[in-house]
């Protein structure tokens, strides 16, 4: 489906190109924001990318950004005046934050999370809050209490998850940059299925303060963009040391784009054979093999390697993540905020009723799994053993990076699948993250870039780096992007 547009080139511009237009006085932030809000109004009945749109706030922020851009004395940044989205599990002062769950209906945070504060300080224009799988638990954006997001490449297909609203909005030209969270692939997998760039930074580089927690040792905030350069610029803004997050580290980079133009010539890039799983689609495999040739043509040295513990990563993840979720979600009792059941005679009955009505099936499933794994008599057999294997997985990655500058894999074993195809089969749904989950377990940086097409649908290519090797994966991804045309493809919507 196509829609008529007064400014189609603007919809699919990069943030860097838009900033250049601001500097050249070709367009103002207010004008760009109004265009994008009109776009959102047109497409939302089709895509359902947003849970909440905040047009009045956005216009006010755009007016303030124009003052900065016109030399008011405030420093400008790469995102000053640029319309963006944040996922609806980011705390936003004065704006309802639901994590796509009924249990948080009506919850309006009194504060901004650190990533949101950094965006506001940078002058970014936040158009609203992105749809997601409930509490970020899912790989298709079908578990949202607000309905599924539809992939702009094919409205009968999922956009991936859990940051499905963010990936669909960037792909469809509703925003220039979106910010999501990645616990087991929730930025990179939807980026792959929607044909955009998505990055999970090294764990600890972006503060999790204000992010509604799923798995605290796994969650990380990152950007979804239309170019690798925009990704680096966005990371420069949201990365900061924060004393309110005990896992936050002092940013080791002045500029994530420092090596972006160096190319891959001379880089040793490994191809872990375990990531080419049996269930990988033929079109995805073919695109991946073609991508390896492209990297070799650019001067990279490509070698096969083995990470045998990869086969255990999925099992480890689905013990650790639900365990942490069961602890984190215990705070949602339907009383302190959000959904309340006032007809119960006791507080225990009120909590039980609120959780029964407020949590969706997938969230309940993971709470049950996590509670079981942490229960007396099973803790050592499940959770403790999973943490031990996690240590071995980290060690295996560390050994691989003694030999390689980066690793390259498919991002997802499949392209976007039909809505409803896997929602009743948790195992098949969980397998969608088989290529992304090991990165979260080890706390490593990873980026997905458009890596080809298969039957008219985007395919993602994933680069993985060592801890604090964020500039290395950005360097490799940017070189691949320059050598290919896939990032120039956009859905006809």
Domain range enclosing 425: 1-493
Residue of 28, 162, 240, 248 marked catalytic: 162
Tell me: the pLDDT tens digits for 373-417?
A: 999 889 999 999 999 999 999 999 999 999 999 999 999 999 999
The yes-or-no verdict on residue 344 having pLDDT over 80 is no
Tokens linked to 300: 């990279």
The yes-or-no verdict on residue 2 having pLDDT over 90 is no
Tell me: the pLDDT tens digits for 196-245?
A: 999 999 999 999 999 999 999 999 999 999 999 999 999 999 999 999 99
The yes-or-no verdict on residue 1 having pLDDT over 50 is no
Share of the chain above pLDDT 90, in %: 87
Cβ–Cβ < 8 Å for 170, 176: yes
Whether 87 is catalytic? yes
Report the pLDDT value the prediction gives residue 140, as an integer from 0 to 100.
Answer: 96
Return d(Cα 101, Cα 212) in angstroms, integer.
12
Whether 330 is catalytic? no
Q: In the structure, what pLDDT confidence band is assigned to residue 104 with cuts at 50, 70 and 90?
A: very high
pLDDT averaged over every residue in the chain: 94
- The number of folded domains in the chain is 1
Of 15, 258, 274, 252, give the one whose Cα is nearest residue 125. Answer: 15
Residue of 13, 28, 29, 87 marked catalytic: 87
- CATH classification at residue 397: 3.90.1300.10
Residue of 29, 186, 227, 446 marked catalytic: 186
Tell me: the pLDDT tens digits for 441-484?
A: 999 999 999 999 999 999 999 999 999 999 999 999 999 999 99
Backbone torsion region of residue 227, taken as left when φ is above 0, otherwise alpha when ψ lies between -120 and 50, otherwise beta: beta
Cβ–Cβ < 8 Å for 13, 26: no
The yes-or-no verdict on residue 339 having pLDDT over 80 is no
pTM above 0.85, yes or no: yes
Report the pLDDT value the prediction gives residue 252, as an integer from 0 to 100.
Answer: 77
Tell me: the pLDDT tens digits for 297-325?
A: 999 999 999 999 998 999 999 999 999 99
Mean pLDDT of 140-162: 97
Report the pLDDT value the prediction gives residue 4, as an integer from 0 to 100.
Answer: 36
Of 103, 278, 279, 114, give the one whose Cα is nearest residue 211. Answer: 114
Cβ–Cβ < 8 Å for 118, 237: yes
The yes-or-no verdict on residue 5 having pLDDT over 70 is no
Whether 162 is catalytic? yes
Tell me: the pLDDT tens digits for 51-101?
A: 999 999 999 999 999 999 998 778 999 999 999 999 999 999 999 999 999
Backbone torsion region of residue 191, taken as left when φ is above 0, otherwise alpha when ψ lies between -120 and 50, otherwise beta: alpha
Interhelix angle 15-23/228-238, rounded to 10 degrees, is 80
Return d(Cα 213, Cα 220) in angstroms, integer.
10
């Amino acid at each position: 489906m196509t829609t008529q547009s007064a400014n189609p080139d603007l919809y699919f511009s990069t943030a860097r190109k838009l900033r250049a237009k601001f500097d050249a006085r070709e367009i103002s932030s207010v004008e760009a924001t109004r265009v994008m809000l009109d776009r959102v109004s047109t497409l939302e009945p089709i895509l359902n990318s947003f849970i909440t749109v905040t047009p009045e706030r956005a216009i006010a922020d755009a007016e303030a950004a124009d003052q900065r851009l016109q030399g008011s004395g405030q420093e400008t940044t790469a995102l000053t005046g640029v319309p963006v989205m944040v996922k609806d599990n980011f705390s936003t002062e004065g704006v309802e934050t639901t994590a796509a769950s009924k249990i948080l209906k009506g919850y309006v945070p009194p504060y901004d999370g650190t990533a949101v504060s950094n965006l506001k300080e940078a002058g970014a224009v936040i158009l609203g809050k992105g749809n997601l799988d409930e509490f970020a638990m899912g790989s298709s954006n079908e578990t949202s209490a607000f309905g599924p997001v539809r992939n702009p490449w094919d409205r009968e297909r999922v956009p991936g998850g859990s940051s499905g609203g963010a990936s669909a909005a960037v792909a469809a030209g509703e925003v220039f940059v979106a910010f999501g969270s990645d616990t087991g692939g929730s930025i990179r997998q939807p980026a792959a299925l929607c044909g955009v760039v998505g990055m999970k930074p090294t764990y600890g580089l972006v503060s999790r303060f204000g992010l509604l927690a799923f798995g605290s040792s796994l969650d990380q905030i990152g950007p979804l963009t239309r170019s690798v350069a925009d990704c680096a610029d966005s990371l420069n803004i949201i990365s900061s040391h924060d004393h309110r997050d005990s896992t936050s580290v002092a940013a080791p980079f002045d500029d994530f784009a420092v090596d972006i133009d160096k190319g891959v010539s001379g880089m040793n890039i490994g191809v872990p054979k375990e990531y080419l799983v049996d269930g990988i689609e033929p079109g995805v495999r073919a695109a991946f093999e073609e991508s390896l040739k492209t990297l070799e043509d650019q001067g990279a040295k490509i070698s096969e390697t083995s990470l045998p513990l990869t086969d255990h990563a999925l099992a480890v993840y689905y013990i650790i993540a639900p365990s942490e979720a069961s602890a984190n979600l215990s705070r949602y009792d339907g009383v302190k905020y959000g959904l309340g059941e006032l007809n119960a005679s006791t507080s225990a009955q009120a909590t039980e009723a609120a959780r029964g009505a407020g949590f969706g099936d997938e969230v309940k499933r993971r709470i049950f799994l996590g509670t079981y794994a942490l229960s007396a008599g099973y803790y050592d057999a499940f959770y403790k053993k999973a943490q031990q294997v996690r240590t071995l997985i980290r060690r295996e990655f560390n050994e691989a990076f003694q030999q390689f500058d980066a690793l390259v894999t498919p991002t997802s074993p499949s392209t976007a699948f039909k809505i409803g195809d896997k929602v009743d089969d948790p195992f098949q749904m969980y397998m969608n993250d088989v290529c992304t989950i090991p990165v979260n377990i080890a706390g490593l940086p990873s980026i997905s870039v458009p890596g080809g097409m298969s039957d008219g649908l985007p395919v993602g290519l994933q680069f993985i780096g060592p801890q604090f090797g964020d500039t290395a994966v950005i360097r490799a991804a940017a070189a691949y992007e320059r050598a290919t045309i896939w990032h120039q493809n956009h859905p006809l919507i």
